[in-house]
Amino acid sequence: MKLRKFSKQNIKDYYDAIIIGSGISGLCCAALLSMEGKKVLVLEKHFKVGGYTHTFKRKKYEWDVGIHYVGGVHKKNVFIRRLFDKITNKNLKWNKTNDNYDRIIFPDKSYDFIAPKNKFIQSIKTAFPNEINAIDQYMGILRKVKDASMKYFATKALSGISEFALYRYLSKDFFKYSDKTTYEVLSNLTSNKKLIGVLTGQWGDYGLPPKQSSFAIHSMIANHYFDGANYPIGGSKMIAENIIPVIEQYGGEILVSTGVDKINVKNNKVKGVILESGDCIDSDIVISSAGVENTINKFLRNNEQYNQHAKNLKQVDASGSHVCLYVGFDKNAKELGISDTNLWIYPGYDHDKNINDYLNNKTDDFPLLYLSFASSKDPKWDTNNPNTATMEAITLSSYNDFNEWSKEPWLKRGKKYESYKERISQKIIDVIYLHLPHLKNKISYYELSTPLSTRDMANYKYGELYGINHTPARFRQKWLKPKTKINGLYLTGQDILTAGLAGALSAGALTTSVILKKNLFKSI
């Protein structure tokens, strides 16, 4: 699929909407608005479309950069499945992975997360027979948060009098849990530290350990996978590749390698965007899918209301960074005996302690190591990538650890940088071999991405993986919603709802609903 770069010859005089960023939320907005007859232009700074939903290749190996599993989409009546079907003309296909979607591994024991929900419950109760009452209470609270979250997220579409009248009523049940940390809620149910460690074994899916994360995000991620996990057939690149034709079918346009410098605002009203090239493109509506930090500190840096926007931004903080070792093998997954179950490897049950120990001493064990195997999840893998298998191995990192190379260009950061990466890589490989000894000496290729890689490829200033941190304070920010105080400027993406593919996708539908003044959640 060949996409165009910006040139003055291929730009219309005016667009109904300009979308900054081609992550899943931006693509979703573009598809839905185009279907409504709007002239839409998507501007992507990177040379690839899709944000975290793309793949990349080195030699003969291919890896997923962000999508490792998606919950619920095997059920055709689930909203995100219906939404995907709509914006891809039902051309995006999914493979349901085996029921044992996650394995949580500690030094003394492993615990399996198994779909559907009743099997998950039974598995945890079998592992903790003295905690049956606590587990039942936990599952009950998850149901309550799920119900309350729907009302809370509905407030994101409110403004003016309706927001004043309904916000408190619709949010109050959600805040009972979002205001508390995950650890606060769970420690009120049980004193069993191992059980708490197991139940929070997916904390890497939202980026914060139990004593820092809001229980709301923990609840949403747990609920998301109870019915099983799925993987896009052909890899995550198929998401963008199936949305783009729909956008173009309805007259929308996408430009790559086209960075935005500023959002053009006059008298508190959007007039379009100014590109990094200095060229202007006119529109009365601009939708930023580039994250709120980029939107405020970069695109609105000279706006007369910048100070107020910056004040809002100080109420939240950026999520953490990661490194990922992309591993390649010269045999297929079946020959290697690689399952499609994700592995979460921890040095101990206290996740907060694991992180603190590691940050204080980088020679300590990784606070987590997450292993994902796309080549086992994708039924078309062996056809598209014969005689190969790949793995992604992800762990916590810090942008500050790489700060000395932050001004050096990609691929030219020098021997010291490469040496540092190699030490981390070998440490990760040692853990892989410890837990998957049958893979020892079978790695044919590996490459480490760092927070600088995330910064350069995804345009997050400090290599953030999940945008804004999912702390209790985050869910109290009324300004984190599609409609801004600048007329014609809208926000979308994971900062508006929650992290993850489902959160960002739903944000795209929410933002479009607000713009069209039409509840797409009911009509899709």
Whether residue 193 is found in the same domain as residue 293: no
**One-letter amino acid of 521:** F
Confidence class for position 137, pLDDT limits 50, 70, 90: very high
507, containing H or E segment? helix 501-516
Distance (Å, whole) CA 178 – CA 215: 5
Residue 2: the pLDDT is 75
Residue 64 to residue 375: CA distance in whole angstroms: 10
Q: Are residues 453 and 495 in the same domain?
A: no
Residues 512 and 499 in one domain: yes
Q: Are strands 229-232 and 70-71 parallel, antiparallel or unpaired?
A: antiparallel
Which domain does 326 fall in, by range?
Answer: 320-338+373-458
Q: Is residue 256 part of a domain?
A: yes
- Residues 411-420 have pLDDT tens digits of 889 999 999 9
**Which pLDDT tens digit goes with each residue over 484-498?**
999 999 999 999 999
Q: CA-CA distance, 38 to 40, in Å (whole number)?
A: 6
Q: Is 266 left (phi over 0), alpha (psi -120 to 50) or beta?
A: beta
Is the predicted pLDDT of residue 116 greater than 90, yes or no?
yes
Q: With contact defined as beta carbons under 8 Å apart, do 33 and 252 qualify?
A: yes
Q: Side chain identity at 452, as an amino acid letter?
A: L
d(CA 503, CA 515) in angstroms, rounded, equals: 18
Contacts of residue 14, Cβ cutoff 8 Å, sequence gap at least 6? 39, 282, 283
Distance separating alpha carbons of residues 181 and 217, to the nearest angstrom: 10
pLDDT digits (tens, 9 = 90+) for 74-108: 999 999 999 999 999 999 999 999 999 999 999 99
> How open is the CA angle 424-455-234, to the nearest 5 degrees?
80
Residue 345 in any domain: the answer is no
Q: Does residue 498 lie within any of the structural domains?
A: yes
pLDDT confidence of residue 402: 95
Q: Do 284 and 195 share a structural domain?
A: no
Q: Which of 340, 339, 337, 291 is nearest to 318 (CA)?
A: 291
Which pLDDT tens digit goes with each residue over 41-54? 999 999 989 998 88
Domain boundary among the residues 227, 259, 275 is at 227
Q: What is the pLDDT of residue 410?
A: 85
Which band of pLDDT confidence, cut at 50, 70 and 90, is reported for residue 31? very high
The helix/strand count (H/E) of the chain reads as 19, 21
Residue 1 — pLDDT band, cuts 50, 70, 90? low
Residue 305's pLDDT is 84
Same structural domain for residues 203 and 260?
A: no
The DSSP code sequence of 312-371 is: HHTTS-B--EEEEEEEEESS-HHHHT--S-EEEE-SSS-HHHHHHHHHH-TTSPPS-EEE
Q: Is the model's pLDDT at 59 over the cut of 70?
A: yes
Regarding whether 502 and 422 lie in a shared domain, the answer is: no
Work out how many domains the chain is built from and give that number.
3
Q: Indicate whether 130 belongs to any domain.
A: yes
CATH number at residue 39: 3.50.50.60
**Dist CA 322 CA 401 (whole Å):** 11
Q: Are residues 8 and 87 in the same domain?
A: yes
Percent with pLDDT over 90 in the chain: 89
Whether residue 21 sits in one domain with residue 115: no
**Helix 132-154 to helix 215-225 angle, to the nearest 10 degrees?**
100
Average pLDDT for the chain: 95
What pLDDT, on a 0 to 100 scale, did the predictor assign at position 8? 84
Of 323 and 8, the one with more pLDDT: 323
Tell me, what's the pLDDT at 362?
A: 86
Residue where a domain stops, chosen among 405, 429, 458: 458
The whole model's pTM is what?
0.95
Q: Are strands 17-20 and 286-288 parallel, antiparallel or unpaired?
A: parallel
Residues 110 and 213 in one domain: yes
Question: Which pLDDT tens digit goes with each residue over 165-204?
Answer: 999 999 999 999 999 999 999 999 999 999 999 999 999 9
Q: To which H or E segment does residue 176 belong?
A: helix 160-178
Q: Does a structural domain hold residue 89?
A: yes
**210 & 278 share domain:** no
Q: Given its phi and psi angles, is residue 394 left (phi above 0), alpha (psi -120 to 50 degrees) or beta?
A: beta
Q: Give the gyration radius of the chain's Cα atoms.
A: 22
Cβ pair 292, 491 in contact under 8 A: yes
What type of residue is 239? I
List, in order, residues 6 or more apart from 171 with CB less than 8 Å away. Answer: 151, 152, 155
The per-residue pLDDT for range 244-296, each reduced to its tens digit, is 999 999 999 999 999 999 999 999 999 999 999 999 999 999 999 999 999 99
User: Does one domain contain both 116 and 222?
Assistant: yes
Share of the chain above pLDDT 70, in %: 100
Cα–Cα separations (whole angstroms), residue 126 to 73, 108, 132: 28, 16, 9
Within a domain: 202: yes
Banded model confidence at residue 458, pLDDT cuts 50, 70, 90: confident
Q: Are residues 265 and 325 in the same domain?
A: no
> Can you read off the two tokens belonging to residue 223?
């609920």
Contact 280, 273 (CB under 8 A): yes
| Residue 293 within any structural domain of the chain | yes
The answer to whether residue 426 sits within a structural domain is yes
- pLDDT (tens digit per residue) in 145-168: 999 999 999 999 998 899 989 999
Domain endpoint, select from 227, 254, 287: 227
User: For the segment 206-222, what is each residue's pLDDT rounded down to a tens digit?
Assistant: 999 999 999 999 999 99
